[in-house]
Amino acid sequence: MANAYINGKYLSQKLSGVQRYAHELVTHLPTHTTVIAPGNNNAAAYNTAYGFQTTGTNGSILWEQFKLPSYLRRNNRPLLVNLCNAAPVLYSNKISCIHDIAFIRYPQFFSKSFYWYYKILISLVVKTSRHLITVSQFSKAELMEHYKLKENQITVIPNASSLNRQQTGILPPHARPYFLFVGSLDPRKNLTLLLEAYTKANLKDIDLLVVGASHKSFNTGIAQKIAAYRDKPGIIFLQNVDDAMLCNLYAYAVAMVAPSFYEGFGLPLIEALSFGCPVLASGIPSFREVAGRAARYFNPEDADQLAGLLRETGTRREQHNQAALQVQQKYSWAKSAEKLKALIEQYA
């Protein structure tokens, strides 16, 4: 395999979302890739099975835009693979992954500073990259339409589940039956619809467990709406949920509910199905692409419809069906890493 360098800024950040995508792909790649990370990093939290080199100190925007490309120029300008949206715009020998364009489709859900930063940055990343990666056919179509790209300029390399079914505990993690929400408190995740629907469903014997955290990039108005539900009976917000606990939560949930307005992929759907957990999801294109017939769908703007679906699902734990098994078999980090390997060999 041709040698390439991986933008390791993600190792200075919390292991979540796009950072996990990068970490899993690099973990499953052959050894002839070199990860370049800031000196002050969070690599210990990643439990890396791969080595990495460091340059500079803090993993800031300045590190990514100036320190990293300076290091690469001193080392014969190798191919740089960027897997977390951002990339050094003044370095052209690169492949970059853009996960979605939510900031374009739903700008009201993001802080103004983040919106303008990403609007300018991602446009420049698209223009200066030799090739682009994204995570679904839906996101590929979005990128092609918005940035006027050709089909052969983008390769789809999907997400996969990183969770281990062997981590599932013998006992349920919660005393009562429960529905499960997994995701950040990003407004496009549409958690407020689920909270409203759960309240309308008036399910006395089934709780709603919410696993997620807010982020400074998001519009803070949503926090006030969510706060109004924090003291309502049956609604429980969980913090500091590690992978082992998340495995348990999926394994014993009545169903996982994903009410998003917009997603580039839909990783919680894959994770839930891998544990035999029924999925109730909004009928957005990316969710239908990922889960197909393995999920039940609803209108992400209709709380009454979702309330009815929650009541209908009730305590009935559906059996793992053939459609869910097909979804599991379709997505794996090993398969995705093979696609990335082929792309590196083509461009390195």
User: Phi and psi for 341 in degrees, rounded to 5?
Assistant: -55, -45
Bridge pairing between strands 154-156 and 131-134: parallel
| Structural tokens at position 199 | 């309240």
Judge whether 282 and 259 are in contact, CB under 8 Å: yes
Judge whether 341 and 81 are in contact, CB under 8 Å: no
Q: pLDDT of 156-173, one tens digit each?
A: 999 999 998 777 777 889
149: left (phi over 0), alpha (psi -120 to 50) or beta: beta
Nearest to 66 by CA among 42, 38, 47, 40: 38
pLDDT at 315: 55
Instruction: Give how far Cα 274 sits from Cα of 161, 165, 247, 271, 334, Å.
Output: 8, 8, 10, 5, 16
Judge whether 259 and 287 are in contact, CB under 8 Å: no
pTM: 0.92
Q: Stretch 336-343: mean pLDDT, rounded?
A: 96
Q: What is the dihedral of CA 79, 80, 82, 83, to 10 degrees?
A: 60
Q: pLDDT of 203-223, one tens digit each?
A: 999 999 999 876 655 555 777
Judge whether 28 and 337 are in contact, CB under 8 Å: yes
CA atoms within 13 A on the CB side of 140: 17
Q: pLDDT of 314-328, one tens digit each?
A: 755 565 567 777 888
Helix (H) or strand (E) holding 210: strand 207-211
Residue 213 CA, chain-centre distance (Å), reads 13
Judge whether 269 and 289 are in contact, CB under 8 Å: no
Q: Stretch 56-84: mean pLDDT, rounded?
A: 95
Q: pLDDT of 87-116, one tens digit each?
A: 999 999 999 999 999 999 999 988 899 999
Q: Stretch 50-70: mean pLDDT, rounded?
A: 92
Q: pLDDT of 253-312, one tens digit each?
A: 999 999 999 999 999 999 999 998 999 999 999 999 999 999 999 999 999 999 999 999
pLDDT at 51: 84
List of domains in the chain: 4-160+332-347 (3.40.50.2000), 165-330 (3.40.50.2000)
CA atoms within 13 A on the CB side of 123: 9
pLDDT at 47: 82
